[in-house]
Structure 1
Amino acid sequence: MPPKSPFSLTDPDSAALGLLRLARTTACERFPQKLLERLVGLMGADHGAINIWHPRSFVASVGVGYDLSGMSADWYAIGGAELDFTTPAMHAQPLRAVCVNDDDPRWKQSHPSWRSFQARYGIHHQLGVSIPFEGSETFAHCYLNRGPASPRYGTAEVDALTALAPGIGEALLINRLYAGAHQGLEDTGSGDQPLAVTDNEGWILFPNGDFCRAWPRLAAIAKVSEPRLPKSWLEGERGAIRKLHAAGWQCEVTPAHGGLRVALRRNAPGTGAMLTPRQTEISRLYCAGYSGKDIATRLSVSPATVRVHLRETYSKLGVTSRSALRSALGL
């Protein structure tokens, strides 16, 4: 039989997309296990573990090929935190994979109880990476291990896992986003003030609770299945904004921390499909205290155009004054 390929991760970008699909379709409580199973397969490992740590507490652990309860008990019994040299190396350079094989000098010079522990659990070659959780002090430590009959890890595996590491972090974040959105469907929150920070391509990085609650509706409007806002929304494309507005939403995009801050606001009840985006824009400026002439200058239109839009808005909403317009728009 031909020898088994050491690993199948030859296209990190494609693998990262696969992890995102897994993140969107797997329940939050099952995702770390499914993620680990996928990584073990991609890297040609025999077994592995993901430990999620916070500086002040251990959060959770999942494993493939291990009795984690027995393994943890043995690890604590030998003082594993003091003997382990792989995890500190991972933690010192987040998102950069490291490997240690059983012929490594550090391995040979480690404490006999540590070498015995590794051998007991079939760990002869270890590949790992530390993944920081965005916006917190929490880290996910991924360990992908091979036994004595499997080939040692080398530069190819280290480089491949390093290239995939940002995708692993994004998948962990996206799974939490989708878990929040699913939970939000049963939540009593209104979801009327969704706010998110995205990168410049629209990938969602940091959503607030209202955004999670509104995401299923927003994704349906945008016709997307991935956690990414359409560029047409971010760039204010007229047709896309008109469609969004007709569905009852307004979108405001501003630069933020090298990315974009996206604020979505529900239209006042009954106004979503009634007012055009231009009528809404003029009405909001008018309610903010701008004169018709000021609005015309600001929007590069004639004062007569402003008057026509305001007249049509007043008629649609059944109001006769600026204060009544404010109330109708919920301002």
Structure 2
Amino acid sequence: MPSKRITMQDIADACGLSRNTVSKVYNGRGSVPQSTRNLVLQKAKELGYGSPAEKVFASPPSVGNIALLTCHLPSQLHFGTLFLSSFTDMISREGYALKIYEISQEELEKRQLPPHFVPEQIAGIVGIELFDPDYVSMLCHLDIPMVLTDSSAETITSLIECDYVTMENIAGIMAVIRRLVRAGARQIGFVGDYNHCGSFRERWYGYQQGLMVNGLQYDKRFCICEPDSSPYDDSAWLLSRINQMPALPDAFVCANDYLAISLIQALKKKDLSIPEDIMITGFDGTMQSAFTDPPLTTVKICGTEIGHLAAELLLNRIRIPSFPYSWTHVKSTPIWRESIRKT
């Protein structure tokens, strides 16, 4: 017998795992990969704590749960629809089931988990449309493996304690700026709340950098960057903002396709022609962007591939909790269409 009582924490430390993972093995709640179970069992035997572990391993749970936490379920105008399909396919192949929890405003403000979310029954978390940094911080301290895709604007400059995989934003916007300049643009505005989320903030950085490297000046008078809660889908509101500008810019770079489509509709009510009078670009590569009049130049997000990568990161985190956190950007690709002039 060992000279001191062996605890789950001792086993966790010896395996390089979290106590939560070892606890799942012993209490039979949640799912742990068989390779991890075998590691814990072997280490428990070496420490003189073999018999209890063997009893638990005799009937391991066959299915575990991955929790999707979100403030807004993705719509068709969001890359998350493709993300969820591929992510779910990947985790189901490993025996996990996806449970979806939509976080209410009250839960967000009080930093509360949704009802029926039982941490002991959750093997991992995937966060999408979670833009509150304090709520994300709370989730990071649950000691449950987690991967985020997009997050708050502050997240991209913070050392968060989880994996993070998202689309590449800066280079995509800079490529758009270069093409607009070649098409004759000298005054380029930006549309979208750059404080809304991490991807919007990076697209704003790309816009600023793109102007600088092409010798253009930033002028906030040509930007519409009100809070995301503003009525960006209201043509009258958009036109009121445009009418306050000292002149019409040569082009608008929009933070996503939804904003670009709303802007096109508003500009048409002003009897402006696109791209002859003004050029418009979006971001996301949604299906709808191909059917605007004119078809919208955009930057396509690889939602399916991001979903696969997020699943791989999370599954690896479940297997090896001590592995260094990874921040990954997946290349986005510009799609040149008729909403900008030919070069």
TM-score range, shorter chain: under 0.3
Judging by fraction of residues, say which structure has more helix. 1
Name the TM-score, length of structure 1 as normaliser.
0.26
State the structure with more CA Rg.
1
Name the TM-score, length of structure 2 as normaliser.
0.25
